[in-house]
Amino acid sequence: MWLWIHKFGSPPHAYRLLGQLAPWFGWAALVLILAATYWGLVEAPRDYQQGDAFRILYVHAPSAWMSMFVYVVMAVAAGIGMIWRIKLAHAAAAACAPIGASFTFLALATGSIWGKPMWGTWWVWDARLTSELILLFLYLGYMALRSSFDDPQRADRASAVLAIVGVINVPIIHYSVEWWTTLHQPASVTKLDKPSIALEMLYPLFLMIIGFQVYFGWAISRRLRGEILRRERNAKWLQEAR
Amino acid sequence: MDLREFLNMGGYAGYVWSAYGLTALVLVWNWWAARRCEVEEQQSARRRSSAD
Residues of chain B found within 8 Å of residue A63, distances taken between Cβ atoms:
23, 26
Distance between CA atoms of residues A55 and A47, nearest Å: 8
DSSP 8-class letter at A121:
-
Instruction: Give the CA dihedral A217, A220, A226, A231, nearest 10 degrees.
Output: -120
Task: Flag whether residue A121 sits within 8 Å of chain B, measured between CB atoms.
Answer: no
A49 burial (CB, 10 Å; 0-12 / 13-18 / 19+) is exposed
Which residue, among B15, B23, B11, B9, has the nearest Cα to A114 in the 3D structure? B15
| A19, A225 Cβ separation under 8 angstroms | yes
- A217 in contact with chain B, both atoms CB, cutoff 8 A: no
Residues in chain B closer than 8 A to A106 (CB atoms): 22-23, 26
Tell me what the mean pLDDT of segment A59-64 comes to. 96
Alpha-helix residue ranges (DSSP H) falling in chain A: 2-9, 11-38, 57-84, 87-119, 127-147, 152-166, 169-179, 199-231, 236-241
Positive or negative: CA dihedral B9, B10, B13, B15:
negative
Residues in chain B within 8 Å Cβ distance of A114? 15, 19
pLDDT band (50, 70, 90) for residue B52: low
What pLDDT is stored for residue B45 in this prediction?
Answer: 85
Contact residues, chain B, for A41 at CB < 8 Å:
6, 16, 20
**pLDDT: which is higher, A180 or A57:** A57
**Residues of A with CB below 8 A from B27's CB?**
33, 215
Q: Is the pLDDT of residue A238 over 80?
A: no
Contact in structure between A134 and A176 (CB atoms under 8 Å):
no
Judge whether A53 is closer than 8 Å to chain B, CB to CB: yes
Instruction: With CB atoms and an 8 Å threshold, state whether A52 touches B10.
Output: yes
pLDDT score for A241:
62
The domain ranges of chain A are 19-185+201-241
CB contact under 8 A, B16 and A226: no
Question: Would you state the pLDDT for residue A4?
Answer: 61
C-alpha to C-alpha distances, A202 to A61, A63, A86, A185, A205, nearest whole angstrom: 11, 15, 39, 16, 5
Confidence of residue B47 (pLDDT cuts 50, 70, 90): confident
Answer yes or no: do B20 and A41 touch at CB < 8 A.
Answer: yes
| Number of helical H runs and strand E runs in chain B | 2, 0
Which residue range(s) make up the domain with B21? 3-51
Q: Average pLDDT in the A143-163 region?
A: 94
Q: What digits encode the pLDDT tens for the residues B4-37?
A: 889 889 889 999 999 999 999 999 999 999 999 9
Q: Do A110 and B10 touch (CB under 8 A)?
A: no
